[in-house]
Structure 1
Amino acid sequence: MRPYPGYGLVFTIKSEGKRTAKEGSFYRCFAVISGTFIHHRVVENFLNTIIIVYTALFPICNPLGVAPIFLTITRGEKSQRRRQQALKGSIFVFFILTTFLLAGSFILKFFGISLDGVRIAGGLVVTGIGLRLLHQTPTADRQSIETEEAMEKSDISFSPLALPLLAGPGTIAVVMTKSSQFEFDFLLIAAAIVAILLLSATCWLILSQADRILEAIGITGANILTKIMAFLLVCIGVQLFLSGTVHILHSPL
């Protein structure tokens, strides 16, 4: 069956059982509609993945909760220097999380760790972080040894700002879980990278304006937001733990 010149559809010449022009138009319209539908589904999946990854990471990263600590460890520095530290820290967050996103599945395979194992362990870590934040003392009274040591450093952008305050164990655990879920699906991996980029930009925006934000909402407002984020962390951690546990219980031994 020889194709009709100029068309890549099932539209053949009369001597070989020609389809009518009307039928050819129908198939062309069907192909266009199908292609448009598939395109919209791809875009929808891409955007949904960005939203899912961003909303999963933001409460764990918790730049609003880190902002008071950031102001404490950069006390006495000029605003320009503080913004530089915020920018560098956010860039480090992007590279740390992107590295674990791209290499996460290979790391798990190398150590023989299953996706369900990561979900359970990550759920426990995230739940622990959330519970600790729920029961910690108010920001104004909190002064950890790590914060005191950071105040003596000239550059705090990588440690402790990026790691472990922003990109801590809980954030890395969630990213590695997504890495295993999105393995070899380059579209979803690209969407996750965009989500991490947006998260890093959010961290920079909040930290660079931390003094103004805290002045607007006050210490009490910051503590309330931290408690809300902590509760969301507990919910995310429990959900991760349950999803991994249920899947293991229902999988054949």
Structure 2
Amino acid sequence: MASADTIMSAFTTLLVTLDPPGLAPIFLGLTAGLTRAQRRQVAWRGSLIAFFILAVFAVFGAGILSLLGISMGAFRISGGMLLFWIAFEMIFQKRNDRKEETSKTAITIDHIQNIAVFPLALPLIAGPGAISATVLLAGSFAQPLDRAVLILMLAMAMATVLIALMIADRLDRYLGVSGRAVLTRLLGVLLAALSAQFVVDGVKSAFAL
């Protein structure tokens, strides 16, 4: 059974990577013109789809890597570097700009009824960073009971995302521009430290082989 510190670190990694406060203003722009009931429907559907996507990677991600001949150590290094780049974007306020551009493009291409699938579930919620973090964490939660704990943490993290989307209008007003900027940068620093730890663990694993 994974230790309490490992579980807390994993849950923190999931929350920081998913970034519920950062998703809230983008979700508002994505669902502009929709009623509150329609927004809730989009939020529920998008969160559920994103959860199932990440759950599949949590269960089968390591098997897919093994099939492709990629070691967990190599994936930890590459995934840690990817998460560090996301942290860099968060600290220098580039991630939200990129997400907003993605959402604008998707609205012009896809019909409004499909926004829960694209771009909300994929790639705004279950993006490359979240998928990489999930597969990396699955390597530390290899036993069946530990894997169940990881799925539970995914569900809890996704519930946090859902709540943030449900109260997006109030959260955006409460944080304001300055509050969002401070929170995003603080989460970015935390994610940078966690991603560096992934790289260190990956290097140790690679040399152990």
Tell me whether the two structures share a fold, i.e. TM-score over 0.5.
yes
User: TM-score, normalization: structure 1?
Assistant: 0.75
SS at match of 1:151: helix
Counterparts of 1:138 and 1:157 in 2: how far apart (Å)? Answer: 20
Q: Aligned pair 1:125/2:125, yes or no? A: no
**1:115 counterpart residue number:** 72
Q: Percent identity?
A: 33
Q: How big is each residue's C-alpha offset from its partner over 1:143-179, in whole Å with a ceiling of 9 and x where there is no partner?
A: 8432212333312112111111111112111211222
**1:160 counterpart residue number:** 119
| Distance change (3 Å), C-alpha of 1:192 and 1:136 | same
Counterparts of 1:50 and 1:200 in 2: how far apart (Å)? Answer: 16
- Report the Cα offset of residue 226 of structure 1: 1.1
Counterparts of 1:171 and 1:90 in 2: how far apart (Å)? Answer: 13
Gaps of 5+ in 1: 1-41
**1:246 counterpart residue number:** 204
Counterparts of 2:13 and 2:31 in 1: how far apart (Å)? Answer: 28
**2:17 counterpart residue number:** 60
Q: Aligned pair 1:150/2:106, yes or no? A: yes
- Which has the bigger relative contact order, CA under 8 A and spacing at least 6? 2
From 173, 183, 188, the counterpart of 2:132:
173
| Distance change (3 Å), C-alpha of 1:50 and 1:235 | closer
Instruction: Say if 2:57 and 2:131, in contact at 8 Å, map to a contact too.
Output: yes
In structure 1, what residue type is equivalent to 2:152?
V
Q: Which runs of 4+ in 1 moved over 6 A?
A: none
Instruction: Say if 1:47 and 1:191, in contact at 8 Å, map to a contact too.
Output: no
Q: Aligned pair 1:188/2:159, yes or no? A: no
**2:187 counterpart residue number:** 229
Instruction: Say if 1:72 and 1:151, in contact at 8 Å, map to a contact too.
Output: no
Higher helix share: 2
| Distance change (3 Å), C-alpha of 1:50 and 1:246 | closer
Q: How big is each residue's C-alpha offset from its partner over 1:38-76, in whole Å with a ceiling of 9 and x where there is no partner?
A: xxxx6xx48666533321211011011111111111111
**1:86 counterpart residue number:** 43
Instruction: Say which one has the larger Rg.
Output: 1
In structure 1, what residue type is equivalent to 2:52?
F
Instruction: Say if 1:116 and 1:248, in contact at 8 Å, map to a contact too.
Output: yes
Q: Aligned pair 1:207/2:161, yes or no? A: no
Q: Aligned pair 1:72/2:29, yes or no? A: yes
SS at match of 2:147: helix
Q: Aligned pair 1:103/2:67, yes or no? A: no
Instruction: Say if 1:90 and 1:200, in contact at 8 Å, map to a contact too.
Output: yes
Q: How many residues are treated as equivalent by the alignment?
A: 206
- Report the Cα offset of residue 240 of structure 1: 0.8
Q: RMSD across aligned C-alpha pairs, in angstroms?
A: 2.2
User: TM-score, normalization: structure 2?
Assistant: 0.89
Counterparts of 1:47 and 1:193 in 2: how far apart (Å)? Answer: 16
